[in-house]
Amino acid sequence: MKQALADLPIPHLPVERELLDNGMRLCISSRPGAPVVAMLLHIRGGVGEEPEGKEGLAFLAGATLDQGTQRHDDEQIAALLEPAGGVVSGDAFGLNGAINGGDWKLLLEMMGELACTPVFPAEKVERQRARVIERLRVEAEDPAARASKSFRELVYGTHFLGRPQTGTPESLARIEVEDLRGHHARAWCGRRATLVVCGDVDARAVARAARRAFRTLDAGRPEELRDGPYPPIERRLAVHPMQREQAHLYFGHLGVRYAHPDYARLVVLDHVLGTGHGFTNRIGRRLRDEQGLAYAVHASIHATASRYPGAFTAYIGTAPENVEAALRGFLEEVRRIREEPVSRAELQLAQDYLVGSYALSFERSSERAQYLLSAELFGLPPDHLQRLVESFRSTTAADVLAAARTHLHPEQASLAAAGPVERNSLERALRRAGAATRSGRRRR
């Protein structure tokens, strides 16, 4: 017997919101008994505003934010946080921290200090720049990373989503300390900031501490959403021949935003097509279990959806002699889910897994904080989790079919490949795989 939705332990995430005088949004979720307090400080819009030729500026600024403030250097920051189990780090989008519950004020004060008064010491900036450049050089020799990077460029073109957040060795080399300070002054401001605090805390005490910790953060200017333009969905190909044992293939196209009305149906679709748990999804079962082409293979359109469109992405790493079979498998399975309803058993399995997993996916304070940040950024209603789980359960085979026909476009999907591959052979493989699929679709 199906478990009723009302009986499922769908978490209730209480949240109290406050708008500080400088425009900063504050979201506090009290969770009595939680041993750890998690904090997220999100800054909107910094990546999209990087000057041309200085890509990676937002990332380098965030990554070096914890290297010193007007009051403490990096060693002093670590000495203050570590005894309390505290950690904090930054990236292009803000700060991420956690600490033992009883010491949450220490972490909040430190995050305020990092956000308001960083100094970007030149020698620490150079050290961080060198680390990032070295990592990028290693990734340049990794065929999976090369193919992934090219796939984003094919899908998003010149939009900032198509650029690597960490920049390139060339762009990073152009960034000066004054660039970091200028970026911080523009982007790290109250009207772009959202602070989420989740754990065993008193909401009023957190609000008072946040007002003190961020009192010197300027209001600044709000973010300008840079939504498009994006390249049309059409077949594009990027190939990186490399002497490796495996070929890495990324196949897909522009996807949807999180707020799209079909989002829940697409989550169900994905779990039937390419992201189901274990060995239950069609692409995994066919290419991995039945044909033995690879261990790592997946496909999803919902996973990267956010305020901006995500991407439908199918990935496989396989031997070069199996490339055509892998492409045929991708094309046939995407076409099949567009042409015929999924079976009752597949639908039931996907729904049961999704309903159960969402009910149990907020065990940690960090997971709750991440969801609450998304809810704030996406403008989700208070009962969103309940509605989402109900949508999973109410999705029909006809709903999945309609969503697939609307949002999946295998004939126009782009392909990025790296490894022992060549452009001409990939073009032939795509033609043969497409022709074989049209002339005789695989039956089950």
At residue 49's C-alpha, the angle toward residues 44 and 52, to 5°, is: 155
User: 175 and 242 share a domain?
Assistant: no
Is residue 341 classed as helix, strand or coil in its secondary structure?
coil
- Look at the chain and report how many structural domains it folds into: 2
Residue keyed to tokens 């199996």: 322
Is residue 318 classed as helix, strand or coil in its secondary structure?
strand
User: 139 and 197 share a domain?
Assistant: yes
User: 197 and 304 share a domain?
Assistant: no
Residue ranges in 177-251 assigned as alpha helix (H): 177-187, 203-213
User: 130 and 50 share a domain?
Assistant: yes
Q: What is the pLDDT of residues 368-385, one digit of tens each?
A: 999 999 999 999 998 998
User: 191 and 92 share a domain?
Assistant: yes
User: 307 and 380 share a domain?
Assistant: yes
User: 159 and 247 share a domain?
Assistant: no
Structural domain including 367 reads 237-439
User: 201 and 272 share a domain?
Assistant: no
Please list the rounded mean pLDDT of every run of 10 residues in the chain (444 residues): 54 91 97 96 93 95 95 96 96 97 97 97 96 96 96 96 94 97 96 97 97 97 90 96 95 97 97 84 93 92 96 96 95 96 95 84 89 94 90 96 98 96 93 65 41
User: 306 and 410 share a domain?
Assistant: yes
Asked if residue 221 is part of any domain, the answer here is no
Give the model's pLDDT for residue 442: 42
Give the model's pLDDT for residue 436: 60
Q: What is the pLDDT of residues 6-36, one digit of tens each?
A: 455 677 789 999 999 999 999 999 999 999 9
User: 71 and 150 share a domain?
Assistant: yes
Of 150, 178, 213, the residue at which a domain comes to its end is 213
Q: What is the CATH number of the domain that holds 147?
A: 3.30.830.10
Asked if residue 218 is part of any domain, the answer here is no
How far is the C-alpha of 368 from the C-alpha of 32, rounded, in Å? Answer: 13
At residue 341's C-alpha, the angle toward residues 335 and 343, to 5°, is: 115
Asked if residue 444 is part of any domain, the answer here is no
Asked if residue 222 is part of any domain, the answer here is no
